[in-house]
Amino acid sequence: MHFKIAKDDKTNHRYSGVLVHPTSFPSPYGIGDLGQGAYDFVDFLAKAGQHLWQVLPLVPTTIGDSPYQGFSVFAGQPLLISPDLLVKAKLLDREDLKDLPVFDQDRVHYEEVLTFKTTLLKKAYANFLHTADKNLLEEYDAFCDSNEYWLEDYALFMAGKDYHKGLPWYEWEDTLLDPTEEERAEWMKELKDSVNYYRFVQYTFYCQWYDLKEYANSKGIAIIGDMPIFPCWDSADVWGNKKMFCLDSKGYPLEVAGVPPDYFSATGQLWGNPLYDWDAHAEDGYTWWIERLRNQLDQTDYVRIDHFRGFEAYWAVPFGEPTAMNGKWRKGPGEDLFLAVKKVLGDDLPIFAEDLGVITPEVERLRDMFDFPGMKVLQFGFDGDGESTFLPHQLDTRNCVCYTGTHDNNTSRGWYDDTSERNRDKIRRYMNTDASSVSWDFIRICLGTIAKYAIFPVQDLLKLGSDARMNIPGVPNGNWSFRYRAGLLDDGMAQGLKQLTELFGRFG
C-alpha cells in the first residue's frame, strides 16, 4: 500500500510532518523499534494533522552506529525489530522478555542493545526452524525469492563476517574475498545455517516495517525515506559488486568520498566510502541503481537522496588522506542516471534532493530538470549577516522542503542558546518573539513559508536543547543515540500543532 502526495499536484496544497528515526521511539528494550512506540507516533501525527514522517536510513549500521554507514543499502536494521511483535507472531514467548536489562530511557547504548537483541533474534530463529505455520513458511520463501537479487549477497556477507570474527571483507581469504562460482557455492554450503539466520532476520524486519507503513498510509501519512549516495566500504554492496566501484586488485579504494570544508567542518568531511565507477554503471544500464531506488521506494513513499550534488560532481579524496581538504571535483553521471531510472520506474520519481553545501548552477539544473524538491534549512538563514537564500522571505519556489533543522544540525533551541547575541536578536525581531519557546517559533515560521513541504525534528516539538541533537558531523562517536520518553507527545501538543498547521493551510 502506498500513500503518495502526487508530485505533479498543481493545487496549492501544502504538507508538513516530523523527522524522527525509529531508534528514538520509546520502548523498554533499549532502543526504539517498530512496535507500540512507532504506532503511537503515527497516531500522534494523525491527531496533529500531519501528513509526512521522515526517517533516516533504515539499514543495519556498522562501527559508529551511523545509519549513513550500513552493511547493506538494501537490508533493514535488525535492532529495529520489535520483541513484542515477535511474541505476537509466536516466534518468542512472553517469558523470553522477562528479567530485562535496565536500559537507559534517554540514550541508545548500541553494544548493550546488540547483545540483548541478537540473543532474542536467535531464539526467534530457532523457533522458526520448528514452526508448523505453513503460511509463515510460504511468506518467508516468497520474501527470499523476490529479494534474492540483494538478499543472497547480504546474508553470505554477514555470515562471512561472523566467520571471520568481524573482519572487513577486504581482509578475508581470497576464496571469499573474490570467490569463483564454485568457491561461493562451497561457502554457502559451509555457512548455510548462518546465511539462513540472516535471511530470517531480514524477513522479520520487512514484515514489521511493511505492517507499520501500511498503518501510517491508512492514516493519511506518507513516509519519506533517506538514501545515502555512497554505500559503506565494508558492505555487501561493495563486496558483491566490486566492478561497480573504483577499487584496486586487493579491494582497496583508489579514492574515497567526502566533502570539502563547509559550514559543518573547517577541514571538510572525510566519509571514506569508495567511489563509483560510473562508466561501469552506464554500461550496465544503471541496473544496480534502478534496483536500489526500486527497493527504497517500496520501503517508503518518498526518498530524500543525501548528497544529491554528487550526481553532478563529487569530491574525490586520495585514499589515506587524513582529512578531506586535498580532494578534487570529478564529474558524476548527471541526467543519464535519472533518465535511465525513469525509463524503468516511471516519470513520477518521488525524490527529494539534499542540495546543501557547495551547490553550483549545474547541480541546480540537474535538480530542476527532474522537478526534484530541494532543501531549505531555516537555521542557516539566521546564522550570520546578510540576505541568506534560506531566510523565509527569500524562498523563491514552492517546490522545496523547508526544515527547521536536520539530523546534522543542532536542535533549534540548542542552536539559539549557542549562537551569538547578534543572531539571537535577529531571531527575536524577525519572529516577533521573546524566544521563550524558540523551537516552536521556528516551527511556526517553517509552516508559514511558501514551501510545499515543511518538516521539523521531533526534538524541536519537544523544545529540547543541544544534548538531544542526533548527530555532530565530523565527530565519530556518541551520535545517533537520542531517545524520547513515552507520553511526551501528548494530545495537548498534537492539538497545538494541528491548529498551527491549519492556520497556515497545511492540511492536505
Q: Beta partners for 331?
A: 313
Catalytic residue, chosen from 153, 237, 255, 306, is: 306
Catalytic residue, chosen from 301, 408, 441, 460, is: 408
378, 445 in Cβ contact below 8 A?
yes
DSSP assignment letter at 115: H
Grid cell locating 186: 562451497
Q: Beta partners for 52?
A: 17, 222
Give CA–CA dist 68/64, Å, rounded: 10
306 is catalytic: yes
Give CA–CA dist 352/344, Å, rounded: 19
Give 249-287 as a DSSP string.
TTS-BSEEEEE-S-SS-TT-EEEEEEPB-HHHHHHTTTH
106 is catalytic: no
Give CA–CA dist 357/262, Å, rounded: 7
425 is catalytic: no
Label residue 472 exposed, middle or buried (CB < 10 Å: 0-12, 13-18, 19+): middle
Query: Measuring CA to CA, which residue among 69, 67, 81 is closest to residue 33?
Result: 81
Phi (first) and psi of residue 53, to 5 degrees? -130, 120
Which residue in the block uniquely carries the three cell numbers 528479567?
Answer: 99
Label residue 248 exposed, middle or buried (CB < 10 Å: 0-12, 13-18, 19+): exposed
| Long-range CB contacts (within 8 A, 24+) of 142-151 | 143/202, 143/203, 143/206, 143/207, 144/199, 144/203, 147/74, 147/202, 147/206, 149/291, 150/72, 150/74, 150/75, 150/236, 150/291, 150/295, 151/74, 151/75, 151/199, 151/202
Label residue 483 exposed, middle or buried (CB < 10 Å: 0-12, 13-18, 19+): buried
Catalytic residue, chosen from 354, 355, 441, 460, is: 354
- Residues carrying an active site annotation: 306, 354, 408
